[in-house]
Amino acid sequence: MTTRLHLAQIDTALGNLDANLGVHLAEIDAARIDGADVLVFPELSLTGYFLKDQSFEAARPLDCAELESIRERSTDLTIGVGFVERGDDGRLYNAYALYEDGRLLHVHRKVHLVTYGMFEESRDLAAGERFDLAESKHGRIGIMLCEDAWHATSAWLYFLRGAEVLLVPSAGPARGVSARDEGLGSVGTWRALLTHAAALHQCWSVYVNRVGCEDGVTFAGGSLVVDPFGREAAALDTLDAGRLVTDLDLRACERARVQTPLRRDEKPWLVLRDLQHIVDPEE
């Protein structure tokens, strides 16, 4: 099964949901022209990233007008969008919604909030607690919001559940220079991380990062697709807005797992046993 994927490497106006919705709708139109099956946006694409005191005002419930506009356009196009969710429990979450066939298919709430360096997500946001697969007609999709991908257990849990695509929406900043003169150091680090995740878990790794500036921080772009053998399939340039259209052959996951049966031979019960001992050495 081949899926045509459209990555939207966009800039986002901080806190301006009306303007950002307009950008999203334009990308939806472009994705249809490209013949895409799936369109994915970066982390917090609808709201902007460094919201801080604007977080509550920018937060939206799942049935808000902005998200409904996107849902209504998902009848023939699967769409992934990032936003601040106002949950029924009153908490705010860094969330990512997938819409398919005109309905809400799945919501992932960022589990690993960033609380170091320039980041202070936990000041205004609550953390998610689950890594559940999105069962799409375009394959089993595991969503990791930026920092989620830096924790080895995130992709591994999806791998155990049979994920075929690891989708990583990000608001990753531009930092450093590559030691091998290959551009931005942060982009090179993401490339290494995603290549490792794809090859080790025999999934497609799809990284969609934003561009633009907020609060003195420049976002790097450099969106990337890596196949289940760890080979770069397609990439966008850094710093500038752009669109990437590429085809994902989900049968490549099966070929990789037959060639090297890592999932077949995985032993999660050993990890469970050792984790229980680490948590409670007396047992």
Ordered DSSP codes for 192-223: HHHHHHHHHHTSEEEEEE-EEEETTEEEEB--
Q: Identify the pLDDT of residue 274.
A: 93
pLDDT at 32 (0 to 100):
97
Q: What is the DSSP string of 123-184?
A: GT-BPP---PPEEETTEEEEE--GGGGGSHHHHHHHHHTT-SEEEEEE-PBP--B-TTS-SB
Q: Which residue has the higher pLDDT, 182 or 78?
A: 78
pLDDT of residue 124: 96
Q: What is the pLDDT averaged over residues 153-157?
A: 97
| Neighbour-count burial for 198-218, b at 16+ CB within 10 Å, e otherwise | bbebbbbbbbbbbbbebeeee
pLDDT (0 to 100) of residue 1: 78
pLDDT of residue 4: 98
What pLDDT was estimated at residue 184? Answer: 85
Q: Give the per-residue pLDDT at 170.
A: 98
Q: Counting beta carbons within 10 angstroms of the beta carbon of residue 193, is it exposed (0 to 12), middle (13 to 18) or buried (19 or more)?
A: middle
Single pTM value for the model: 0.96
What percent of the chain shows pLDDT beyond 90?
A: 92
Q: What is the pLDDT of the chain when averaged over all its residues?
A: 95
pLDDT tens string 46-62: 999 999 999 999 999 99
**Does residue 238 sit in helix, strand or coil?**
strand
3-state secondary structure of 158: helix
Residue 186 has pLDDT above 80, yes or no: yes
**What value does the mean pLDDT take over residues 175-192?**
76
Comparing 6-15, 72-81, 114-123, the range with the smallest average pLDDT is 114-123
Whether the pLDDT of residue 30 is over 70: the answer is yes
CB-based contacts of 216, cutoff 8 Å, min separation 6: none
Share of the chain above pLDDT 70, in %: 98
Question: pLDDT-based confidence at 143, cuts 50/70/90?
Answer: very high
178 pLDDT higher than 60: no
The mean pLDDT of 162-166, rounded to a whole number, is: 97
CB atoms within 10 A of CB 144: 27
Q: Give CA–CA dist 23/218, Å, rounded.
A: 19
- What pLDDT shows up at residue 52? 94
- Give the CATH fold of the 2-279 domain: Nitrilase/N-carbamoyl-D-aminoacid amidohydrolase (3.60.110)
* Strand, coil or helix: 14: coil
Question: How much is the average pLDDT of 67-96?
Answer: 97
Q: Average pLDDT for residues 100-109, to the nearest whole number?
A: 98
Spell out the domain ranges in the chain. 2-279
CA distances 216 to 65, 94, 118, 174, Å, are: 31, 21, 11, 11
